[in-house]
Amino acid sequence: MEHITRTDRNLKYKGSMLSFYEDTIVTPDGNKAKWDFIEHGGAAAVVPVLSDGKILLVRQFRNALDRETLEIPAGGINSGEPPLEAAARELEEETGYKSSNLKHLLSLATAVAFCNEIIEIYVAKDLTKTRQHLDEDEFIDVESYTPQEITEMIYSGKIQDSKTIAAVMSYIHTCEHINSCK
């Protein structure tokens, strides 16, 4: 494949989480094109597994969809913060549980056509109940489901969040290979 070259990147808007750019691209045949690019600082997410094998999900309102969603806990990585620490922080903030047993599951590029966001996803076991530490604009309910119940919600369309689908299905697949999801 011939190379595509970016010749310019102009910041159009800087938000609290995202920066929006217009890139000037030169295609292999010499044509110029304008492409959108969204810069994101990265995120961390967690599949929190209770001792009975159920997985904690968070129910929250998502403005982009104008409805509530069921998702694994996740959030942005602060500048200089290691992804593992961000995952542990988000786990406690959103669910009110801590874990000293977090293991990396996968890295997920969320929207490769226009955004550089990477979500580092972890599995958390040996959970200890603490309390939620929600941001002032967060209103989150914590619910627990079996892997089978989550799978059914994914296939029925009740869960559509890509990070949750990728994380839970990867976790289940990994469990099947070691014959245990607990």
122 vs 54, 76, 89, 142, 162, CA distance in Å? 16, 14, 12, 18, 15
Q: Find, among 142, 156, 90, 98, the residue nearest to 119 by Cα.
A: 90
Check residue 49 and report its DSSP letter: B
Q: Which residues contact 15 (CB under 8 A, 6 or more apart)?
A: none
136 catalytic per annotation: yes
Annotated catalytic residue within 85, 93, 136, 152: 136
Active site residues: 136
